[in-house]
């Protein structure tokens, strides 16, 4: 038996009469308590408070930002992505349309600007709408700039920043309190 099993009250992990579901629930409760205590210590209440729609949308947007950021941070992936998308105008147009409608739709339905999470969520929506509009409207100019190494470096910088934003939005969605 390990010491941490005793501390957490989980002695006999896998050997007790409790079902696997109960063990997962107990582990999840411990993780939630740890995250809540860490974020409560680190962030004032207003920093994790948001409107009810924001609390529902924030973890979805946050998870997307984390996953897409992590995917493009792999070595050479950003340059490869930019090279591939600039070679296929139809793909660029389709991606631009999805980005524009996602950003514009989020802005249309999420009209809260009071708390930090709400402002960040709306700024991400504005960026997506702007990015999508640029991919649709000014394809030639965008294609010429995507081939430059500066574009890949900017994309990598944005992906690092988007992971931080994504983690914040996931935390707000997970433990935030409604206004």
From CA 173, how far away is CA 179, in angstroms rounded? 13
Predicted structure pTM score: 0.70
Evaluate whether 138 touches 74 at the Cβ level (below 8 Å): no
Structure token pair of residue 48: 């994790």
Q: End-to-end distance of the chain based on CA atoms, in angstroms?
A: 45
Tell whether 114 and 157 lie within a shared domain.
yes
What are the backbone dihedrals phi and psi of residue 177, each rounded to the nearest 5 degrees, phi first?
-110, 145
Tell whether 95 and 155 lie within a shared domain.
yes
Tell whether 53 and 8 lie within a shared domain.
no
Tell whether 86 and 173 lie within a shared domain.
yes
Tell whether 32 and 85 lie within a shared domain.
no
Alpha helices in the chain (DSSP H): 3-8, 20-42, 52-72, 77-87, 89-109, 116-137, 139-146, 149-175
Structure token pair of residue 37: 């205590």
Tell whether 148 and 96 lie within a shared domain.
yes
Tell whether 116 and 102 lie within a shared domain.
yes
Tell whether 91 and 169 lie within a shared domain.
yes
Residue 159: other Cβ atoms inside 10 A: 20
**Cα 14 from chain centroid?**
34
From CA 103, how far away is CA 107, in angstroms rounded? 6
Q: What is the pLDDT of residue 25?
A: 77
Place of tokens 């984390």: 66
Tell whether 49 and 36 lie within a shared domain.
no
Q: What is the pLDDT of residue 147?
A: 59
Tell whether 162 and 109 lie within a shared domain.
yes
| Average pLDDT per consecutive 10 residues, the chain (179 residues; last block may be shorter) | 48 54 74 66 71 95 93 80 82 92 95 92 95 83 64 82 94 89
Domain span at residue 63? 45-178
Number of domains in the chain: 2
Tell whether 79 and 10 lie within a shared domain.
no
Tell whether 127 and 51 lie within a shared domain.
yes
């Amino acid at each position: 038996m390990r010491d941490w099993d005793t501390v957490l009250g989980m002695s006999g992990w896998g050997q007790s009469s409790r079902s696997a579901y109960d063990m997962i629930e107990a582990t999840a409760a411990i993780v939630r308590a740890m995250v809540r205590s860490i974020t409560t210590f680190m962030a004032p209440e207003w920093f994790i408070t948001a409107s009810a729609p924001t609390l529902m949308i924030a973890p979805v947007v946050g998870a997307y930002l984390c996953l897409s950021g992590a995917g493009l941070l792999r070595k050479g992936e950003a340059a490869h992505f930019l090279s591939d998308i600039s070679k296929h105008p139809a793909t660029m147009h389709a991606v631009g349309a999805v980005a524009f409608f996602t950003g514009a739709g989020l802005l249309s339905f999420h009209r809260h600007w009071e708390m930090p999470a709400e402002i960040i969520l709306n700024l991400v929506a504005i960026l997506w709408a702007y990015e999508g509009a640029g991919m649709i409207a000014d394809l030639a100019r965008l294609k010429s700039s995507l081939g430059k190494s500066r574009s890949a470096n900017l994309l990598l910088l944005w992906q690092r920043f988007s992971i931080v934003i994504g983690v914040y939005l996931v935390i707000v969605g997970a433990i935030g309190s409604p206004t």
